[in-house]
């Protein structure tokens, strides 16, 4: 029973390039969350998606960042024109569903983005 998969595990980009981070949720999970772990800021929520829908992107920077979870394929977090401050670990999590009972979220191993 595979867990949450993320790739690549490490990504190096030069300033101004684009970064694409992929996440495949656990089997049977239809809810995906992205979190960012910055060295001095800890883990912060970025965005919550269901298939073909962005439910909450309140934690996403207003510019350059976008996310999608298409009907087929993994969820993608896209960062355009990366800057050094984007260097961080990006974690994807998934859960079976949300509702009145809070479900734990299962995390992937993360993608460590380094911007040079």
Q: Residue 106, interface with other proteins (CB under 8 A)?
A: yes
Q: Which of 34, 48, 65, 69 binds other proteins (CB under 8 A)?
A: 48
Q: In the complex, what is the shortest distance from the CB of residue 92 to other proteins, in angstroms, rounded to a whole number?
A: 9
Q: Rounded to whole angstroms, how far apart are CA atoms 4 and 66?
A: 20
Q: In the complex, what is the shortest distance from the CB of residue 58 to other proteins, in angstroms, rounded to a whole number?
A: 8
Site string for other proteins, 4-43 (x = CB under 8 A): x-x------------------------x-x-x------xx
Q: Residue 1, interface with other proteins (CB under 8 A)?
A: no
Pull the structure tokens for residue 51: 């298939």
> Phi/psi at 27 (nearest 5 deg)?
-60, 130
User: Measuring CA to CA, which residue among 113, 81, 109 is closest to residue 24?
Assistant: 109
Pull the structure tokens for residue 8: 């690549």
């Amino acid at each position: 029973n595979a867990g949450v998969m993320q790739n690549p595990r490490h990504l190096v980009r030069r300033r101004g390039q684009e970064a694409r981070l992929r996440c495949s949720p656990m089997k049977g999970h239809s809810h995906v969350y992205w979190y960012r772990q910055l060295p001095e800021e800890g883990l912060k929520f970025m965005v919550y998606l269901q298939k073909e829908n962005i439910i909450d992107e309140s934690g996403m920077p207003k510019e350059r960042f976008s996310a999608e979870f298409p009907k087929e394929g993994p969820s993608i977090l896209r960062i355009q024109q990366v800057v050094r401050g984007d260097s961080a670990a990006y974690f994807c999590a998934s859960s079976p569903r949300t509702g009145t009972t809070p479900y734990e979220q299962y995390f992937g191993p993360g993608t460590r983005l380094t911007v040079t």
